[in-house]
Every structure is written in structure tokens, then in C-alpha cells.
């Protein structure tokens, strides 16, 4: 019986300790339940955001293309006669005027040819005069029946043959004089020359398809700008012409602007003067051309540039900063605020970017819609915000 008494004693000693532990745990749980968050349990204030409405103004669309500058006139200066080059009479890269002397081919062989042609012409003229005299005598003899009709006809034919010989000699003399004139090679247009491709003393060939190229000349002012536009752009311009919103560039010099790589803005102002008659089937593009004044000569052939062609406009439009637009997969949206300052997401259709950095909104907003300009990272749809009005609605 003593072993059983000894086992029951420890259980009666553990009971007070379990009771005390239970009291402590209950106190901790009660304290946790009665604890309050910092701030006395109040919700955080609504986030501060800046709101504004779309800017309204009339705008004009300008479509941008890559262009290549070309000369209005460009000439390859080639020799018309063969011979030894006697002199080069211009400086490489010089600006020349039409008719200015550029090269001289040794003229002596051509001077001799002119002298010979003059002698041949003189001989032909003497023969023609003799034939005329014979015909006059033959006429008197034929009238008196002293010569036969056959002999009279022969003398008449001699006159015609002599006159033909005179004309041939005159033509030969004209050709030799032209050849002599062609030994002095002059600028066919005004413009800037390239370098002389042949130096004096060299034998050059002329008057053939493979005539020696001596230099090139390109006109300076004005210049052309060639560019290609996709067929979609061509169709757009045609639809605008049909609706009367913009005339076709085939019949009207629509405004065109141009800039080169080191210029910040489109400072050169020109106009359209040509649209090709076909769409290139290999590229799906059509070629257009503008003409630009170039008084300072900064635009030279071969230079690449950007051009802007006036499209639709002016027309009223709504504009917002690009920074206010968000993207959700394939959609673009802005956060708008209603009369109760509640945020919602509004899908929009953005258009082109204007020169001052604002984006045209083609659909999705009205002139009275308030959208969030700053504080976008702190808002979510359904949230209530504390909006303030932007001071500068045109800021980016």
C-alpha cells in the first residue's frame, strides 16, 4: 500500500503550478486583445494627387519621313571632241556660272580642219558659179536649136550637183567650226563643281557614249528633297483630298518642313512639287518630292534629312501629358477622379505626339474629365484621393 501512496503525492504538488500558468496565459491573451494600433485605430488619410483636365486647342498634323537631298540640276561634264587636254581653268570645288570656261582641248588640229573646210567650200562655190554660167549659155544655144535637149539637161544637172556640193561644204565647215568651239569646254549650268578628274596633257576622248568624264556640276539653290511614304499614308492623303480637308500634293504645293541631323527644329520651309504616279510593288511605297530654298548652301546633294509634310488640320483636339498615360497589356489608360474624388481607370485611344510633348487623345476623355497628373504611384481603382488642381496644365 505504501508504493501507491508515493505515486499520488507528486500529482497533488503539480496542480498549483498548472493553475498559475493558466492565469498568466489568460492575462497575456487579454492584454493582446485589448491592445490598440498606433493612432488610436484611425484609417490613414487619402493620398494627395494632382488632377487637371485635358488641354483644348487647334492642332495641325505633321507626318514625318526620312528624305534625301538632291540637286535640281546635275551635269556630268564630258568632252565633245577628242584631243589632248591643254588646260584646266577652274579650281576644284569652285562655284561657277553658266558659260564659264572650264577646260581647253588643244585647238590646232581643229583650226586646220576649219581651214580645209573653208577651202573646200570655196572650191564648191567656184564650181557652182561655173555651172551656172554654162547653164546660161546652154539656154541660149538650146533656144536657137544649137544643142540637143539631152545636152541641155546634162548642164542643168551639173548646176544642181554643184549647188548640192556647196551645201555639203557649208555643212562640213559648220561641223568643223563646232568642233573647234567644243575645244573650249564651258559650264552648261551654274553651280558647284567637283574636282577635275583629268589633268592637262592627257588624251581625252569625246563625242561618244564613253566620252571622258572631266568633272560634275550640281546646282545649289533651290534643292530637292526626295522621300518615300507608305501606301497607307498615300491613301490617307487621297481621302483628305476627296473630303476637302486637304488638297492633293499633285495639284497644290502643300507645306513641307525639313531639318538635318545637327538641327533641333524643322527650320527649312518648302513645299511639295511632285508625287510619283505608281506605288512601288516591291516596297509598298510611293515617292514624293519637295523643293526648298537654299540660299546659304547648307543643303547639298546626298545629304539625309527629316521632313514633315502637313496632313490634316487645323482641327480641335484634346491633349494630355504622356506621363499621365499608363499601359495595361494592350490597353492604354489614365486614372480619372469623379465628383466624390473616387479613382477609376479610363481606357483611352492616344493619337500623335505634338511638338510640345503633349499627346492627342482621340477617344476616351472629354474636356471636363479630371485625370490624375501626379501621384500616380499612390493610387488604385476604387480609392478615394485628396486632389489638388495643377497650376500648369501644359507641363509634361
What are the tens digits of pLDDT across the range 167-210? 888 899 999 999 999 999 999 999 999 999 999 999 999 877 78
Dihedrals phi, psi of 139, to nearest 5 degrees: -65, -45
| Cα-Cα end-to-end distance for the chain | 97
pLDDT of residue 4: 43
Checking if the pLDDT of 290 tops 90, the result is yes
Q: Which CATH class is domain 49-58+315-389?
A: mainly beta
**What are 315-365's pLDDT values in tens digits?**
889 999 988 888 888 889 999 999 888 999 999 999 888 877 889 998 988
pLDDT of residue 30: 45
What's the pLDDT tens digit per position in 49-103? 899 999 998 888 889 999 999 999 999 999 999 999 999 999 999 999 999 999 9
Cβ atoms of 310 and 236 within 8 Å: the answer is no
Is the per-residue pLDDT at 392 higher than 80?
no
pLDDT single digits (tens) 208-255: 778 999 999 999 999 999 999 999 999 999 999 998 888 999 999 999
Q: Which superfamily is assigned to 107-181 in CATH?
A: Helix hairpin bin (1.10.287.470)
Report domain extents, the chain: 49-58+315-389, 62-72+220-310, 107-181
Burial of 354 (0-12, 13-18, 19+ CB in 10 A): middle
What integer pLDDT is reported at residue 125 of this predicted model? Answer: 83
Task: Give the pLDDT band of residue 137 (cuts 50, 70, 90).
Answer: low
**Residues with Cβ < 8 Å from 337, sequence gap 6 or more?**
49, 51, 343, 370, 371, 372, 385, 387
% of the chain exceeding 70 in pLDDT: 82
Sheet with 74-78: list strands edge to edge: 74-78, 213-218, 191-193, 95-96
- Pairing of the two strands 386-389 and 48-52: parallel
pLDDT value of residue 10: 47
**pLDDT value at residue 11:** 47
Tell me how far the alpha carbon of residue 359 is from its chain's centroid: 24
pLDDT score at 228: 95
Could you tell me which residues come within 8 angstroms of residue 316 by beta carbon, excluding any fewer than 6 positions away?
56, 57, 58
Closest CA to 216 of 94, 81, 38, 99: 94
Q: What band does 153 get if pLDDT is binned at 50, 70 and 90?
A: low
What pLDDT digit, counting tens, does each position of 270-286 carry?
999 999 999 999 999 99
Residue 335 · residue 382 · CB < 8 Å? no
For residue 304, the model assigns a pLDDT of 95
Burial of 10 (0-12, 13-18, 19+ CB in 10 A): exposed
Highest mean pLDDT among 6-10, 141-145, 156-160, 294-298: 294-298
Residue with the larger pLDDT of the pair 15 and 48: 48
Quick one: three-class SS letters along the chain? Answer: CHHHHHHHHHHHHHHHHHHHHHHHHHHHHHHHHHCCCCCCCCCCCCCEEEEECCEEEEECCEEEEEEEEEECCEEEEECCCCEEEEEECCCCCCEECCCCEEEEECCHHHHHHHHHHHHHHHHHHHHHHHHHHHHHHHHHHHHCCCCCHHHHHHHHHHHHHHHHHHHHHHHHHHHHHHHHHHCEEECCCCEEECCCCCCCCCEECCCCCCCCEEEEEECCCCEEEEEEEEHHHHHHHHHHHHHCCCCCCCCCCCEEEEECCCCCCCCEEEEEEEECCCCECCCCEEEEEEEECCCCCCCCCCCEEEEEEECCCCEEEEEEEHHHCEEECCEEEEEEECCCCEEEEEEEEEEEECCCCEEEEEECCCCCCCEEEECHHHCCCCCECEEEECCCCCCC
Q: What is the mean pLDDT of the chain?
A: 84
Does the pLDDT of residue 256 top 50, yes or no? yes
Angle at 315 between CA 359 and CA 273, to 5 degrees: 100
**What is the spatial distance between Cα 151 and Cα 287, in angstroms, rounded to a whole number?**
72
CA–CA dist 272, 256 (Å, integer): 6
- Return the higher-pLDDT residue of 314 and 276: 276
Cα-based angle 328, 331, 333 (whole degrees, multiple of 5): 80
CA–CA separation, 226 and 209 (whole Å): 29
pTM of the model: 0.70
CATH top class, domain 62-72+220-310:
mainly beta
- Inter-CA distances, 111 with 175, 176, 211, 220, 225, Å: 12, 8, 21, 37, 46
Q: Say what the pLDDT of residue 351 is.
A: 85
Amino acid at each position: 500500500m505504501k508504493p501507491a501512496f508515493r505515486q499520488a503525492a507528486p500529482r497533488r504538488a503539480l496542480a498549483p503550478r498548472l493553475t498559475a500558468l493558466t492565469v498568466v496565459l489568460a492575462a497575456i491573451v487579454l492584454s493582446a486583445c485589448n491592445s490598440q494600433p498606433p493612432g488610436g485605430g484611425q484609417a490613414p488619410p487619402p493620398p494627395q494627387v494632382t488632377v487637371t483636365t485635358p488641354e483644348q486647342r487647334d492642332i495641325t498634323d505633321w507626318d514625318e519621313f526620312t528624305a534625301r537631298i538632291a540637286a535640281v540640276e546635275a551635269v556630268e561634264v564630258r568632252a565633245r571632241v577628242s584631243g589632248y587636254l591643254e588646260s584646266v581653268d577652274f579650281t576644284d570645288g569652285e562655284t561657277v556660272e553658266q558659260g564659264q570656261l572650264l577646260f581647253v582641248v588643244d585647238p590646232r588640229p581643229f583650226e586646220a580642219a576649219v581651214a580645209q573646210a573653208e577651202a573646200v567650200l570655196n572650191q564648191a562655190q567656184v564650181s557652182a558659179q561655173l555651172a551656172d554660167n554654162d547653164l546660161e549659155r546652154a539656154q541660149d544655144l538650146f533656144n536657137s536649136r544649137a544643142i540637143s535637149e539631152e545636152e541641155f539637161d546634162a548642164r542643168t544637172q551639173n548646176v544642181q550637183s554643184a549647188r548640192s556640193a556647196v551645201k555639203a561644204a557649208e555643212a562640213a565647215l559648220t561641223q568643223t567650226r563646232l568642233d573647234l568651239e567644243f575645244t573650249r569646254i564651258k559650264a552648261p549650268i551654274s553651280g558647284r563643281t567637283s574636282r577635275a578628274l583629268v589633268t592637262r596633257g592627257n588624251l581625252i576622248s569625246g563625242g561618244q557614249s564613253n566620252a571622258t568624264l572631266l568633272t560634275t556640276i550640281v546646282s545649289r539653290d533651290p534643292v530637292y528633297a526626295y522621300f518615300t511614304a507608305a501606301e497607307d499614308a498615300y491613301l490617307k492623303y487621297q481621302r483628305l483630298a476627296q473630303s476637302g480637308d486637304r488638297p492633293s500634293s499633285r495639284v497644290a504645293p502643300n507645306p513641307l518642313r525639313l531639318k538635318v541631323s545637327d538641327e533641333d527644329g524643322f527650320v527649312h520651309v518648302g513645299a511639295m512639287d511632285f508625287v510619283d504616279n505608281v506605288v512601288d510593288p516591291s516596297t509598298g511605297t510611293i515617292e514624293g518630292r519637295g523643293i526648298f530654298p537654299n540660299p546659304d548652301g547648307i543643303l547639298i546633294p546626298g545629304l539625309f534629312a527629316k521632313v514633315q509634310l502637313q496632313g490634316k488640320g487645323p482641327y480641335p483636339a484634346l491633349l494630355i501629358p504622356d506621363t499621365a498615360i499608363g499601359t495595361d497589356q494592350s490597353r492604354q489608360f489614365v486614372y480619372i477622379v469623379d465628383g466624390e474624388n473616387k479613382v477609376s481607370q479610363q481606357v483611352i485611344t492616344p493619337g500623335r505626339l505634338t511638338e510640345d510633348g503633349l499627346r492627342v487623345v482621340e477617344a476616351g476623355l472629354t474636356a471636363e474629365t479630371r485625370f490624375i497628373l501626379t501621384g500616380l504611384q499612390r493610387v488604385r481603382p476604387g480609392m478615394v484621393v485628396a486632389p489638388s488642381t495643377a497650376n500648369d496644365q501644359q507641363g509634361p
